[in-house]
Amino acid sequence: MDVSIIDISRRLEQGTPTWPGDTPFSYSVSWSKEESGSVNVGKLEMSIHTGTHVDAPFHFMNNGERIYDLDLELYVGPALVVDVTNLSSIAAKDLEQIDLTNVSRILFKTNSWTDYTKFPEEVTYIEADVAPFLAKHNIKLIGVDVPSVDPLDSKELQAHHALHTHHIHILEGLDLQNVTPGWYELMAFPLPIVEGDGSPVRAVLRSHNK
Ligand SMILES: Nc1ccccc1C(=O)C[C@H](N)C(=O)O
Ligand SMILES: [Zn+2]
Ligand SMILES: [Zn+2]
């Protein structure tokens, strides 16, 4: 079988960086094999926005859709990984040279968060004019290798809102360090957390010929 999977998910373990002030990641065995007599049973506590995850519109809008309401088609299918390393922000003008024909999922490799042991101080973010530009090309999902599509100190969340207005969904916290830009098949399904403002995902790429 000639399929190779590239894992583009960040590890979830004690000490995994979390948004400042948000719930730390914790996994523990709440019921050990000795106690239960048969099995180890694990317990998980985490912010939904830790590591590799998708945002649901409810994350930034009280009347927005919850994660369970979103179409799973968004999270599986061809995706283009684009190199935007060395930019402090991504604007529409930075994307004009890219052939976006038939792209419905685009993943930005910014390489601006490469020390996975620490929450970053500053990362490459998405300018508000990117959303209308990508929507013109029928893009439905964007993915970034940083904790947010907006600047980390943003309260207005311009990019989140602009993307939502243009029906573009958001995947955050990818690990694209070892990914060569180009075409892949993406798979990154959210968990069926009915009321969720998002969900952690196991995001992977598989080689794909356009
Ligand atoms: N976890 C947080 C706690 C407080 C304030 C923001 C966040 C976020 O996660 C925002 C980020 N733009 C996100 O969508 O993942
Ligand atoms: Zn998020
Ligand atoms: Zn977000």
Domains located in the chain, CATH noted = 5-10+48-207 (3.50.30.50)
Q: Is 59 in the active site?
A: yes
Report the C-alpha gap between 27 and 39 in whole angstroms.
16
ipTM higher than the 0.90 cut: yes
Residue 189 has what DSSP assignment? Answer: P
What value, to the nearest 5°, has the Cα angle with vertex 80 and ends 77 and 84? Answer: 150
Q: Are 99 and 121 in contact (CB under 8 A)?
A: no
58-113: per-residue pLDDT in tens?
Answer: 999 999 999 999 999 999 999 999 999 999 999 999 999 999 999 999 999 999 99
Residue in this structure with the two tokens 């990154």, named with its chain if needed? 188
Element (H, E) at 42: strand 41-45
Copy the structure tokens of residue 168.
Answer: 């573009």
126-177: per-residue pLDDT in tens?
Answer: 999 999 999 999 999 999 999 999 999 999 999 999 999 999 999 999 999 9
**59 CA: nearest ligand 1 atom:** 14
Distance 150 CA to ligand 2 centre (A): 10
**157 CA: nearest ligand 1 atom:** 12
